[in-house]
Amino acid sequence: MSSYDVIVVGAGHNGLVAALYLARAGYNVLVLERNRQIGGAVQSGEITRPGFIHDLWSTNQNLFLASPVYKELKDDLARHGLKYANSPNPYCCAFPNGTSLQVYSDTDKTLNQLRQHNPADAEGWTALYDHFHQFQKALLPLYATPLPSGQAGIKLGQALTSVGFAELVRLARILASSTRQLGLEFFDSREVRTLVATWGMHMDFGPDVPGGAMFPFLETFSDMEEGMNVAQGGAAKMPQALASLAKEHQAEIRTEAEVARIIEENGRAIAVELTSGERIGATRAIIGNLTPDVLFKRLLGDVPISKQVQRYVKSYVYGPGTMMVHLALKGQPNWQGHPDMKDFAYVHIAPYVENLAQTYNDSINGILPADPLLIVGQTSAVDPTRTPGPDDHILWIQVRTLPSQIQGDARGEIRGRDWDEVKEPFAQRVLHKLDHYAPGIRDQILDMTVYSPKDLERHNPNLVGGDSIGGSFHLRQNFLFRPFPNYSNYRMPLEQLYMVGAGTWPGPGTNATSGYLCAQEILKSHSLTKTLVTGAAVGGAAIATGMAVKKLTEGGHDGDRD
């Protein structure tokens, strides 16, 4: 049986980050990926027509650019082909009456537009933006901090000093709000309330979910400040660059190598067995870039774990499903709204908070929504290298939220109950809605590829039920509770077993943080072990030397007796 210091199961970007940092530290690392292509949910390809490069699942990589990984390794990753295209027109919202609201990287331009729409909205936007600046200073550093940890405690203490107790309380109230409550507090018009609330549906924050305002609060202003960034040439460039850099540090990456189970011995994860029957040992760590269902139900199987952890795994909740609709177009969409809309990275089509609430409630009750949110990514407007000609374009449409298991249809039109049967008629519902906001778009479609929630899980077992965020992000599964209480530091119940990815702190998105923090945890623990072993050896030698000296000075050396 071959053996490595560390085995990483799953070549998503967090698994690759962990592998890279451990390989840089001199560990012998093997990454095993079941699919032919690495990247997990960060992939791209020519799935409609040759020369049209679509991001299959994830597209926006702002979180990766803000990560400590990118800040430290930017130049090295660029050597391996990772470059970014930035849009100063990050997102906008379209409304049924032919109007729209745009958020530009130019803050003054955004505010001027809001004043024209509703002066009270501009005032509320400014007030909330001020709170965001305080959040950046006080609490955002926790995002890249292990939980729980002394480091987190120090940062909380610093937060109290930097903004004061009263502002921390105000920030806590904002973060505890639902998106509907946040909108009602700060904004006057239903349009601006919707502009913010749509971000919640990127996760599983329906408008009335407590704590749902946290993600929209961050995205609303961070995307305004940073614009929207996509990897030039395709989302897959990011994991490919990470993999190439890891290989440069002697990590080995094997694709089409599916792990069937993790082998345990005396409470320690010691090896993996592939579906081919091959066994590979791990002397220091096995890291699963996985969700709890895959790790515990598939790979650990009959390995004994405590009743409490079994309850945690059983009660781990996945969010609603997602559909992806990819379009190859001739010409840009003819949006009804501001002329700038054609240049925006994201166009959100809700149209209002009430629709979002109905869609979310229908989804979690197993009902196909009548009017789902469309998150329309105009990828070729940001990165023109994605298509073969200047008049060729692609649309990346994420349909949120949908039921994983279908019990009915809100409109009573679709009779099927299986996504393989339903995805085509439901995709037509999506196109019908899109055509209402961009008239004539059906005539512009050169080709289309649709992935249902069931297709998402087929591609990647971590996307359980088509949940694109690796498990519900509600408060009971966030912060110290992700994935379970007392397991937020990536260490799992077996010794040497770790888990990273969307199901762990700080959650979904291309943040690279769990892979980074897990690698630091392993390096720290092994450094401590080495220090303790070395200290014990030195201490033992000192004791032995002291005893010998004592014998000599007392005339007790055995040789003197002979």
Buried/exposed 346-372: b ≥16 CB within 10 Å, e otherwise = bbbbbbbbebbbbbbbbbeeebbbbbb
Residues 257 and 169 in one domain: no
Three-state SS letters, 412-461: CCCCCCCHHHHHHHHHHHHHHHHHHHCCCHHHHEEEEEEECHHHHHHHCC
Same domain, 212 and 120: yes
> Which residue type is seen at 126?
T
| DSSP designation for 13 | H
The tokens describing 27, both together, are 């560990």
Spatial contact of 272 and 263, defined as CB atoms under 8 Å apart: yes
Determine the pLDDT at residue 536. 43
Q: What count of other Cβ atoms lies within 10 Å of the Cβ of residue 305?
A: 17
Is residue 144 one of the residues assigned to a domain?
A: yes
pLDDT value at residue 158: 87
Last residue of a domain, one of 205, 226, 247: 226
Examine the domain organization and report whether 123 and 187 are in the same domain.
Answer: yes
Task: Give Cα 234 distance to the centre of its chain.
Answer: 17
Calculate the alpha carbon distances from 30 to 251, 289, 320, 381, 510 in Å: 6, 13, 33, 38, 22
Q: Are residues 499 and 530 both part of a single domain? A: no
Helix 237-248, helix 13-24: angle, nearest 10: 20
**543-555 as b/e: b if 16+ CB within 10 A:** eeeeeeeeeeeee
pLDDT at position 528: 54
User: Do 215 and 112 fall into the same domain?
Assistant: yes
* Total of domains in the chain: 3
How far, in Å, are 271, 279, 501 from residue 262 at the CA level?
6, 10, 18
Domain annotation covers residue 280 = yes
pLDDT along the chain (562 residues), means of 10: 96 98 98 97 97 97 96 98 98 96 97 97 98 91 84 85 91 96 98 98 97 96 97 98 98 98 96 98 98 96 93 97 98 95 98 98 98 98 97 98 98 96 98 97 98 97 96 95 95 97 96 97 76 44 39 35 30
143 and 221 assigned to the same domain: yes
Measured CA to CA, the distance from residue 500 to residue 14 in angstroms comes to 7
Query: Which residues, 6+ apart, have CB-to-CB distance to 39 below 8 Å?
Result: 11, 12, 13, 235, 236, 238, 239, 240
Question: Are 112 and 199 in the same domain?
Answer: yes
**Domain match, 186 and 277 both:** no
User: Is 438 inside any structural domain?
Assistant: no
Spatial distance between the Cα atoms of 90 and 109, rounded to a whole number of angstroms: 13
- pLDDT for position 141: 85
**One domain for residues 299 and 221:** no
Q: Is residue 395 part of a domain?
A: no
Helix and strand counts by DSSP (H, E) for the chain: 19, 20
The pLDDT score that the predictor gives to residue 140 is 85
Task: Look up the pTM and report it.
Answer: 0.91
**Secondary structure class of 318 (helix, strand, coil):** coil
In a domain? residue 114: yes
84 touches 61 (CB < 8 A): yes
Shared-domain flag, residues 157 and 187: yes
**Domain membership flag for residue 92:** no
Number of CB atoms found within 10 A of residue 335's CB: 23
Of 208, 226, 244, which residue sits at a domain end? 226
Query: Is 427 a domain residue?
Result: no
Distance CA 560, CA 562 (A): 6
Same domain, 110 and 156: yes
Q: What is the DSSP string of 163-224?
A: H-HHHHHHHHHHHHS-HHHHHHHH-SSHHHHHHHHGGGGGTT--TT-TTTTHHHHHHHHHHH
Asked if residue 100 belongs to a domain, the reply is no
In the listed set 195, 226, 257, which residue is the last one of a domain according to the structure?
Answer: 226
Q: Which two tokens stand for residue 99?
A: 């109007």
Q: The domain containing residue 506 runs over which residues?
A: 2-42+62-83+232-317+464-522
Whether omega for the bond prior to residue 453 falls within 30 degrees of 0, making it cis, is no
Going edge to edge, which strands form the sheet with 346-349? Answer: 100-103, 91-94, 346-349, 373-377, 392-402, 321-330, 445-451
CATH number of the domain bearing residue 270: 3.50.50.60
Per DSSP, what are the bridge partners of residue 402? 321
In which region does residue 23 sit, left (phi positive, over 0), alpha (psi from -120 to 50) or beta (all else)? alpha
Q: Specify whether 248 is located in the same domain as 213.
A: no
